[in-house]
Amino acid sequence: MSALRQAWSRLPRETRDSYFLLAVITAVIAPHADHLPLWSSALTALMLAWRASLAARQQPLPSRWWLGAVIVIYTGLTWLTFRTLVGREAGITLLVMLMALKTLELRARRDAFVVFFLGFFLVLTQFLYSQSLLMALWSLLSLWGLLAAVVLAQMPSTDAQGVPSIGIAARHAARTTALGLPVMVLLFVLFPRIAPLWGLPTEAIGKTGLSNQLEFGAMNEIANDDSIALRVKFDGPVPPPDQRYFRGPVLTRFDGKTWRAADTRPSQSWLRGRDDLVTQGPPLRYEMTLEPLRIPVLPLLEMSPGAVGTELPLTDLVLVRGPEMQWVSPRPITERLRFNATAHMAWKLGEHRPRMQRALDADLPPNSNPRSLAWAAALAGQPRFANLPPGPRAEALAAALLDHIRGEEFVYTLTPGRYGVDSPHVIDEFWLDRRLGFCEHFASAFVVLMRAMDVPARIVTGFQGWDAEPQDGYQVVRNANAHAWAEFWVEGKGWVRSDPTAAVAPNRVTQGLALRPEPGVIGQLNPTLWRAMRSGWETLNNRWQQLVLNYSRQNQFDLLKQLGFQQPDWTALGQALAGVILLLALAGAGWIRWSSRPHDAWSRQRARILGLLRRAGVDLPLHEGPGAWARRLRQRHGPQAEAAARWLEGLERARYAPGSAAPRWAELRAAARMLRA
């Protein structure tokens, strides 16, 4: 380590400053690597490495022809990738390129300032993709690095080699950052949230979530995603494990391999039917914080009240109750939502469903999965089902399917392999051959077989269960809790929930234990430590979301009430903000005035002497000492200034000669009066 430090200290100033600036630029650009094209990240890294190589060998920078060629190539690739040069992704890609290229023409200080300003802007653009606590801390660190680079570029040489200290620059930057943080907090708390001028940017969600279609293997990626999907806090007792279903997209159309939601066009709405809902028992109230899931359906706990067409207004978003009792959004939910909701554990759904809709809910594509359909026909033709009424017959057939799953060698696994590679009949392959799968396979097979036995059925997707231990009072539902279950229609009862997964893996439903991939190194060595670390971080991140990201207009008005405003409104908020700005301006002016004054004893004494002589009509230069002042007084004023000159010479002896007594201030005041006379 000491050898590296010595080698670093021997580097020329230009080389060392270039290395530091390149390290800061890398920290600024690093968060963008996740959403920039791979070729952009590779070219940017190549340009920064090229600049570091030139600094190491102290070679001249490339000509503008080289830079022009790189700009043309980079711009062309950006156009081919995004088909535009404007917009968020294309714009940030070009900004990253400009910042990397600008390091290859740092010929003057103004070029360095262009790099600094581009860096500050790129730090801001990081929040267009994520507003997490980790991103905020990383941005603060990047800001500190950029400020240190700005200070370093303007520092004079401070040692024999002519290289300024990076440590001193970093301390100056840290002090500046610390002074700016209170101002930032005050402006954040009081700046009016006026839509659309204020709002959190839409986060770019790169992970798989629920959707309006379900294909064999689609949920494999969801189960591997252990990030948080939503948090719930109940006012009273939590619902039992078998009632922890969050209803999401309902899938009713099957093409032999993929399930899709029904057509949402108004012209086709008559084909969907309308499920009537009757809730029973007391409501269960809870608060939900929903992460951006990219789905146009709000997954609420079954069963939330509200008839078809009921509107649910949230922040800048109005959802409508769909025909299948799902809450439909006009656009995918790409922002974090926090709201209160209610649910009923006892309910009846779709008890009166017309015959035409029941026929559509039992429809299957022709010439698809023939072996499974034959198996279902054989089961439905057994004598035990022959004389049953339609309602009990549907329930008996569903029970028979669940018994078959329990009795045969079905395996619930996260890695069942791909279905449909050698044959398009995926249900045949799963139900009769391999028998390996998880919730989507069991729910799909169950619904297809029920339809094959002329029982209306459909798939419901959403989330089921949550973590065993709450975090900060919230139950945590992860993307790994994504689930698919079935509903079949029973005459006289309506839609009945049936979860075939519970027949093969009861713990998945009764305990809410979702399948998860193998843990990392820490999780394998110490699972308890890993869970504690993850829980602590997620709790901290939840506090960040609740206190900072969810800080809203209403929070501002509540704060104004606490400050004494009787009826807080936009006017009161503007007055409070103006008062804070005025106080900050006065504090800044006071700080500037105070910092311009001398603060050590000798400097204060010199300023007092000059002030006393200036009032006597004598103006002396600030940069000279008492001895030089005495000589000037004798030259300008002759014998009248002799007393003042002797006093100044005595002060200089007291300052620099050991054992000399300091002259008295009364003598200087008397000498000043002589000069004034």
DSSP 8-state secondary structure symbol assigned to residue 464: E
| CB proximity list for 313: less than 8 A, separation 6 or greater | 319
List 499, 569, 619, 623, catalytic entry: 499
3-state SS, residue 173: helix
List 32, 425, 441, 483, catalytic entry: 483
Is residue 425 a contact partner of residue 448, using CB atoms and an 8 Å limit? no
CA–CA distance, 211 with 656 (Å, rounded to integer): 83
Per-residue three-class SS string for 650-664? HHHHHHHCCCCCCCC
Closest of 227, 291, 232, 286 to residue 475, by C-alpha: 232
Closest of 390, 292, 290, 299 to residue 335, by C-alpha: 292
- 564: how many CB neighbours lie within 10 A of its CB? 8
What values do phi and psi take at 314, rounded to 5? Answer: -120, -175
Closest of 13, 21, 9 to residue 150, by C-alpha: 21
Is residue 322 a contact partner of residue 275, using CB atoms and an 8 Å limit? no
Question: What is the number of H-type helices and E-type strands within the chain?
Answer: 24, 20
Q: Which amino acid does the sequence have at 485? A: W
3-state SS, residue 614: helix
CA–CA distance, 435 with 165 (Å, rounded to integer): 68
What values do phi and psi take at 435, rounded to 5? Answer: 60, 35
- 561: how many CB neighbours lie within 10 A of its CB? 12
Closest of 449, 273, 275 to residue 359, by C-alpha: 273
- 252: how many CB neighbours lie within 10 A of its CB? 25
CA-to-CA dists, residue 159 to 6, 9, 167, 169, angstroms: 14, 10, 13, 14
483 is catalytic: yes
CA–CA distance, 299 with 603 (Å, rounded to integer): 70
Is residue 481 a contact partner of residue 468, using CB atoms and an 8 Å limit? no
* DSSP β-ladder status, 317-321 and 311-314: antiparallel
CA–CA distance, 677 with 640 (Å, rounded to integer): 9
Is residue 230 a contact partner of residue 299, using CB atoms and an 8 Å limit? yes
DSSP assignment string, 31-42? GGGGTS-HHHHH
| CB proximity list for 264: less than 8 A, separation 6 or greater | 322, 328
35 is catalytic: no
* DSSP β-ladder status, 436-437 and 411-412: parallel
Beta bridge pairs of residue 337: 290
Q: Which two tokens stand for residue 526?
A: 């110490």
List 32, 275, 425, 439, catalytic entry: 439
Is residue 495 a contact partner of residue 275, using CB atoms and an 8 Å limit? yes
172 is catalytic: no
CA–CA distance, 450 with 456 (Å, rounded to integer): 7
Q: Which amino acid does the sequence have at 252? A: T
Nearest 5°: CA angle at 222, between 216 and 223? 95
Nearest 5°: CA angle at 279, between 275 and 285? 120
3-state SS, residue 280: strand
Active site (catalytic) residues: 439, 483, 499
